[in-house]
Amino acid sequence: MDVPLGKEALGQAVAASEMLPDGLVVVLGNWQVRHLNGPAERISGLRLQDGLGRDVREVLPLQERSGELWWEAIDPWGGLNIRSGHRERLLLLPGGREVLATARYLRPGRNVPAVALLLGLRSAEGRQRAETEHAALISTVAHELRSPLTGVKGFSSTLLSRWDRFTDEQKRFMVETIQADADRLARLITDLLDVSRLDAGRLRLRPEPVDVEETFRRHITRLVAAGHDTERFVVDVGPELPPLWADADRLDQVLANLLENALRHGRGTVTLGARSGLMGDGAPAVDVTVSDEGDGIDERARNLVFSRFWHDAKQGGTGLGLYLVKGIAEAHGGVAKVEEGPAGGALIRIRLPSVEPEYLRL
């Protein structure tokens, strides 16, 4: 689209630029800086009087990470006359300051050389924070993977080198520990893969009728085999519970994450509950709950716990478990929320439809 370039139009554009949250630099065809708005001054560290009327290549000597000068690479006044601008790119200012820059060419007509350029500047602090969070996640995941892997390696090496020195009971204990640690590794890897599937909208479900009480007891058996006391778990399934249509593997994944969360962050008895409920549209549902007797989750943080990478800084964790719980619940057409438990601890409620999905009935 052609843009009028008269003095009045430029004046209006300059006045409007001060209302923008991002930096804007107006560059004329002779490389001179026509205007820097307030955000551009803050992001670049320049003052308007220091840049006005000067060559933008000297005022803002933007560089690629390779060291190449960005202005020479884009050649705004040469090249094809059909170019409209450049997409956002991470560039460097003198001193190593990072900025995100975009460019928009202004042409007085179609297929004619550009006579001005609008340079958009955005602070790279948000990107840097995201990179820091990702680096922290990688470090946390590496730690979470290393812990069970150390157990697998240690017990298996001990068994191989000293098999004849152990009793059958001791061997069984070591093998059960290896199996529990291997299961934990498998869950962590599955969680990481499923995060990418959720983000890409490619999480597949295979709904079938699920026996909720039997599923609860199977998880408790697994946790007891891993060393937890049987007395710490209570199953509370309501009478006349309607059938739950869910992907059994995904429901296992939800419960594994909720139980691990309760055992890691909570205290006392962990209660696995199931009751009849209703979806928002009045359709029948099953409420699956896991609660503990710990300190609970601060009400101000309850809307954040299902965010990706959120975790209790004191207790650690990858911050992916509850994110997956919410994603899997929503993929079933259900919801997930945090409440205060009967004993004052945290209660996480997963409400899932209890009817056969329509596409399976066709």
| Cβ atoms 42, 18 nearer than 8 A | no
Q: Indicate the range of 30-34, 60-64, 145-149 predicted with least confidence.
A: 145-149
Of 145, 144, 166, give the one whose Cα is nearest residue 155. 166
Q: Indicate the range of 50-59, 105-114, 145-154, 305-314 predicted with least confidence.
A: 305-314
Distance CA 352, CA 287 (A): 7
For the whole model, what pTM was predicted? 0.58
What would the two tokens of residue 251 be?
């429901």
Q: Indicate the range of 2-11, 141-150, 273-282, 320-329 predicted with least confidence.
A: 2-11
Query: How much is the average pLDDT of 104-113?
Result: 87
Query: How much is the average pLDDT of 164-178?
Result: 89
The DSSP line for 72-97 is HHH-TTSS-TT--EEEEEEEE-TTS-
| Cβ atoms 24, 8 nearer than 8 A | no
**pLDDT higher than threshold 90 for residue 239:** no
**pLDDT higher than threshold 70 for residue 10:** no
What would the two tokens of residue 198 be?
């959720």
Distance CA 353, CA 362 (A): 18
Of 320, 325, 315, give the one whose Cα is nearest residue 294. 315
| Cβ atoms 312, 265 nearer than 8 A | yes
Distance CA 29, CA 235 (A): 75
User: What is the pairing mode between strands 233-237 and 208-210?
Assistant: unpaired
Amino acid at 167: T
Domains of the chain and any CATH numbers:
7-123 (3.30.450.20), 128-200 (1.10.287.130), 208-361 (3.30.565.10)
Distance CA 291, CA 214 (A): 18
pLDDT at 222: 87
| Cβ atoms 151, 177 nearer than 8 A | yes
**pLDDT higher than threshold 50 for residue 2:** no
The burial of 322, by beta-carbon neighbours within 10 Å (0-12 exposed, 13-18 middle, 19 or more buried), is given as: buried
pLDDT at 273: 94
Query: How much is the average pLDDT of 305-325?
Result: 68
| Cβ atoms 102, 120 nearer than 8 A | yes
Residue 290, SS3 per DSSP: strand
**pLDDT higher than threshold 80 for residue 109:** yes
The residues, ordered by sequence, that sit 6+ positions from 23 with a Cβ below 8 Å of its Cβ are: 36, 37, 39, 40, 41, 42, 43, 44, 119, 120, 121, 122
pLDDT in tens, 41-96: 888 877 767 788 899 998 899 998 888 899 988 888 887 888 889 999 989 888 78
pLDDT at 362: 44
**pLDDT higher than threshold 80 for residue 272:** yes
- Write out the E strands in the chain: 23-28, 33-36, 85-92, 98-106, 116-123, 208-210, 233-237, 244-246, 270-278, 284-291, 335-340, 346-353
**pLDDT higher than threshold 60 for residue 315:** no
pLDDT at 3: 45
